Structure 1
């Protein structure tokens, strides 16, 4: 019987973690090898994929930033497609940590000073990363993390309807406009900030209260494994649970046919295929290749157009 903790699937993601985050980081993880794929996507989900991007901002925001040499350097790096994850929160290296603003509103907060471990200082930009563009919503500080409605309002002023689906609050509820309420719930890990109305604001033109009716990125769920429990993004937990079960079904089917378990696993992203290597009776170094088409459902290993996710960019 093949090990559920250490097999070609978990070894593949151990290699990915070591290549991208370092051997020391992997050695410091106090989790079962079975969770390596989950750890990987939780880390990747909060990072900004390196890609040449257009940087867009309102004239007012651009004017405020233009005199800041740190911003000019960061903007140049974004446009060149360099890795800017040294500017994002240090907490992104904690795979199980949450990012309230990102998960609820799909908004990154990016420091203007970088270190190897992550961004530092209270000089921040708030931005949405979409395809080959980065939209700067606001130039501010850490206080703005707890003003999601104001950030959405700024975004709607400049790019109406581009990033958010908004509903009008007909019930005249004021709870979601209370910044202290948001801060209290965002920092209380018992709730996981799974609010029915994650963020709202008063439209200056119509005077109506508008809100995003659900989390723009991902809700938080309780994920249990052995004696441990973490609050993780729903998308990451679903992708891992789906693929973990799928991979073991594949490996069992391969064993039933060939009487041997696969020795290694590779991914063909262009064709969306799992490629298993099966040892043959000819001996060491001789393999048969078994290809298996990836499902359309959200998985760790392959992009999902429906979820607008690609962990591997």
Structure 2
């Protein structure tokens, strides 16, 4: 597609947001092209926890553990309840836009460290749980090896909240087994990563399968090609947001070109008002305000 003025300015808006919000210079990104900037921005947001006050709901195992009264956890608990920034306790890969948090993407389980330095989370102690819009379901505190045991983490969630955060099939006759070793290879080898296809068995204390969990992915993963360059394992929600908004931007531009013969225009994006403003520089300049499309996910409002 030939160069379009408003679309180009939309790309530039996100390259500036990437620098201002995350301190990342887009020219340092491998295979970067201007068209990629909204996708990079949303991918960075996709693994982050939006800062907002949340109620913490504990599993029984967490409540009965020594961690419940540990001062390190209490510090993080206060941060979550107050709506502070928990992302500084996440993996140091939080600012790598192509990094895949396979536990989060595949099972919607977040994990973050109890300690941090200037670059992010450090040491082995990790908090595991599920963030929703208003709550954090605290499953347990574990170590790095637990990242590769989603079946055990989901089993604990089933014991604590059998109806709240996952969909379960009770008394299922399915015999599929979960292979922790294969999941670890998937998580660490990009070529093996794919969206979970099979349900995961939940066992009781005797090792008997009592339920299967399904329909709980944080996101699907897709491959995306922009200008003949392929980018792998892009969150599907990011892909949808990109298509939704770029289509709208292009429609706005073509409408102005066709109706008022506009060729010099400036795009102003106002997320707080959920509006675009376009200043058209014709013989008589004018400004046109266009609302964001409703009920669709777009890059500009991705964190909402």
**Could you say which TM-score interval applies, normalised by the shorter chain?**
0.7 to 0.9
Q: Residue 211 of structure 1 corresponds to which residue in structure 2?
A: 212
Stretch of structure 1 that moved more, 33-42 or 69-78: 69-78
Unaligned stretches of 5+ residues in structure 1: 303-310
Q: Does the alignment pair 1:173 with 2:164?
A: no
Q: Residue 264 of structure 1 corresponds to which residue in structure 2?
A: 267
TM-score, structure 1 as length reference: 0.85
Kindly provide the CA deviation profile for residues 142-182 of structure 1, in whole angstroms up to 9, marking residues without a partner as x: 1111111111111121112101012258453333x222232
Question: For the residues of structure 2 that align with 1:104 and 1:214, how far apart are their CA atoms?
Answer: 10
Stretch of structure 1 that moved more, 224-233 or 33-42: 224-233
Kindly provide the CA deviation profile for residues 91-140 of structure 1, in whole angstroms up to 9, marking residues without a partner as x: 12111111111111111111111233221111000011112221111110
Stretch of structure 1 that moved more, 98-107 or 228-237: 228-237
Kindly provide the CA deviation profile for residues 6-58 of structure 1, in whole angstroms up to 9, marking residues without a partner as x: 62211221232122112x53342231111111111100010011112222213
Query: SS in structure 1 opposite 2:117?
Result: coil
Q: Are the aligned partners of 2:104 and 2:110 in contact in 1 as well (CA < 8 Å)?
A: yes
RMSD: 2.6
Stretch of structure 1 that moved more, 55-64 or 150-159: 55-64
Question: For the residues of structure 1 that align with 2:243 and 2:201, how far apart are their CA atoms?
Answer: 32
Stretch of structure 1 that moved more, 102-111 or 226-235: 226-235
Question: For the residues of structure 2 that align with 1:215 and 1:54, how far apart are their CA atoms?
Answer: 21
Question: For the residues of structure 2 that align with 1:197 and 1:269, how far apart are their CA atoms?
Answer: 41
Q: By how many angstroms is 1:241 displaced?
A: 2.6
Structure 1 pair 140/73, CA: closer, same or farther in 2 (3 Å)?
A: same
Q: Residue 298 of structure 1 corresponds to which residue in structure 2?
A: 297
Alignment of 1:9-24 (within 5 A): 9-22=10-23, 24=24
Question: For the residues of structure 2 that align with 1:249 and 1:169, how far apart are their CA atoms?
Answer: 51
Stretch of structure 1 that moved more, 198-207 or 120-129: 198-207
Q: Residue 155 of structure 1 corresponds to which residue in structure 2?
A: 157
User: Number of aligned pairs?
Assistant: 299
Structure 1 pair 4/192, CA: closer, same or farther in 2 (3 Å)?
A: farther
Query: SS in structure 2 opposite 1:11?
Result: helix
Q: Residue 141 of structure 1 corresponds to which residue in structure 2?
A: 143
TM-score, structure 2 as length reference: 0.87
Unaligned stretches of 5+ residues in structure 2: none
Q: Are the aligned partners of 2:166 and 2:214 in contact in 1 as well (CA < 8 Å)?
A: no
